[in-house]
Structure 1
């Protein structure tokens, strides 16, 4: 999948929220600025020189993308923070060519600056490293920005591959909640299949049909479609690739439906027909209690598969958003671990690990 960072705010934010990738790109670029409050700050002149563009070009992008750039670290220093910044780096700030203008920016120089000029600076624009990269993902006039975008995409892929060893099929299993969720899955699944067996008048095909009914209610795909989108093999169990939040919601649906089927079959004094169960599932899935849970599960599946697996669920495309810093920490950072490491921390779950590996 080709990604155009100049056009996609989601792709830009996915990169900027990936702290491991940002650290790696900073090392590769060797770009350092003014160390202020344990973070490198870059003046507009520094950014101009790096991307080899004019001040007017930088200003235009700031006006057009101010909310995004501000979110990622662009800011205008004023008041006490400006006073502190000037006291530290005033000797590097030189006047504009037209000093009669209201001063909201700076240039770099080795000149000694007189106090009279510095006192006239009422606001000063600065970027942190993320904001510098953010601007580079937007700039279409700069060849250097184009090179940075290419390097960013390469580094992101390399970061994921190094962390998980190449394949993203089971990246969901690195989440700390996954092992608990998958350990409980057979218990809830058995309640559902037992209810189908006892309360639905239909042959063995009912188990796959109504599993698909639950999948469609939650994430608008049946098992076959899901496996095709994730490029799974026939022997692969879809649930082994699902995120913990999705597994928990499926479990809630299964045990909830099991109870509903039992109550309805008791009420009518016989097994349900397929058409009756279809109506029951439709009513059940439309209960207001499910709305926030389903919306959350769809957003997480769509966004994580897009950001981590480079996969688009077409029916969930409107749910795709940028991954948070917490998401990257959850699946690629310090909180993520290989499944075997999780089992070593929880020896009582060794049977679950064996079951997953035997599938």
Structure 2
């Protein structure tokens, strides 16, 4: 989907938190700047020239997006630090509209940040377009072109998937042993779990991610989501067994659904569901360009740690993980429990 970086703080921060995209941007954009304290920095005058805007325009954005720009590297130099800066950059015009006793400077990251904000600058518009292309190229390259299964690059995925499969078996056995009805009850109660956690049934989820009908949903879920589903399955299996023994018979589907409704209201799940919804909504929009409309209120920027987790050096394709003897040994121990 088209991204308007001038409007979406989440989309801006997702780019700025992706160090792999930033590395490519620094190589290809050639923004310039001056070296100071181990990084490239820009004065306000340089930013004005770079984006062909007025001094007043930059000041306006500094006022309206102060916290965002500061968090991404804008800072004000004064005292000994400013003196050091002047000495290193002797001969540079640094009196760019501020008092000589203070000077605002932008890191490369902050320059990209303000470039994603400026609406009346053609150079900024071109920068945004190139940034989006760079992000897409980096994502495709580092994820092996399979962002639909980017969840599987997490080193925790395989363990979570195997554990969930074991709890899934307990869950389906409980439905067999303690609930009346035909085989449709499996899909019915599975959808109840999905709807409780991320407000979508299986068909809705597949539509959001544009998955084939026969795709196993669990193969696309993040490890934290799988862990929460496993908790549901284990807990519900226990509750069904207890209720059936108390009644001395199998439960009707209506009774089982009522039990589930009570189960999902347990306070234990509130923080876990909040975390699961936030991770699913935010990661899928960032990595898969997939919007879960029912979870839109939970969208946040994806933290830097997640880019390392799914795109970094430790992230590996499922095939690579399965060829690792250490990983296989862990999986075997879990399967043998």
TM-score (norm 2): 0.94
2:69 counterpart residue number: 69
How many Å apart are 1:164 and its aligned residue? 2.0
Does the CA contact (< 8 Å) of 1:302 and 1:317 recur in 2? Answer: yes
In the aligned structure 2, how far is the partner of 1:235 from the partner of 1:9? 36
How many Å apart are 1:263 and its aligned residue? 1.1
**Match among 262, 266, 291 for residue 287 of structure 1:** 266
2:176 counterpart residue number: 197
SS in 2 for 1:42: strand
2:47 counterpart residue number: 47
1:57 aligns with 2:57: yes
In the aligned structure 1, how far is the partner of 2:327 from the partner of 2:116? 47
SS in 2 for 1:165: coil
**What are the Cα deviations for residues 185-233 of structure 1, in whole angstroms up to 9, with x where unaligned?**
2211111011111110111111111111111111111111111111111
How many Å apart are 1:242 and its aligned residue? 0.4
How has the CA–CA distance of structure 1 residues 210 and 122 changed in structure 2, closer, same or farther, with 3 Å as cutoff? Answer: same
How many Å apart are 1:349 and its aligned residue? 3.1
TM-score (norm 1): 0.89
Q: How does 1:312-323 map to 2 (within 5 A)?
A: 312-323=291-302
1:161 counterpart residue number: 140
1:181 counterpart residue number: 160
Does the CA contact (< 8 Å) of 1:183 and 1:349 recur in 2? Answer: no
SS in 2 for 1:125: strand
1:219 counterpart residue number: 198
1:270 counterpart residue number: 249
1:144 counterpart residue number: 123
In the aligned structure 2, how far is the partner of 1:271 from the partner of 1:167? 44
In the aligned structure 2, how far is the partner of 1:180 from the partner of 1:35? 45
How has the CA–CA distance of structure 1 residues 94 and 322 changed in structure 2, closer, same or farther, with 3 Å as cutoff? Answer: closer
How has the CA–CA distance of structure 1 residues 95 and 273 changed in structure 2, closer, same or farther, with 3 Å as cutoff? Answer: closer
1:208 aligns with 2:208: no
1:27 aligns with 2:7: no
In structure 1, the gaps of 5 or more residues are 98-102, 105-120, 354-359
In the aligned structure 2, how far is the partner of 1:128 from the partner of 1:96? 16
Does the CA contact (< 8 Å) of 1:44 and 1:127 recur in 2? Answer: yes
Does the CA contact (< 8 Å) of 2:94 and 2:103 recur in 1? Answer: no
In the aligned structure 2, how far is the partner of 1:156 from the partner of 1:240? 24
2:233 counterpart residue number: 254
SS in 2 for 1:127: strand
How many Å apart are 1:96 and its aligned residue? 5.6
Q: CA RMSD in A?
A: 1.8
Task: Please tell me whether Structure 1 or Structure 2 has the larger radius of gyration of its CA atoms.
Answer: 1
How many Å apart are 1:310 and its aligned residue? 0.3
How many Å apart are 1:31 and its aligned residue? 2.1
How has the CA–CA distance of structure 1 residues 348 and 135 changed in structure 2, closer, same or farther, with 3 Å as cutoff? Answer: closer
In the aligned structure 2, how far is the partner of 1:57 from the partner of 1:36? 25
SS in 2 for 1:35: strand
1:244 aligns with 2:223: yes
How many Å apart are 1:92 and its aligned residue? 1.8
How many Å apart are 1:63 and its aligned residue? 0.8
**What are the Cα deviations for residues 297-350 of structure 1, in whole angstroms up to 9, with x where unaligned?**
010000000000000011111111111111111111222111122223345639
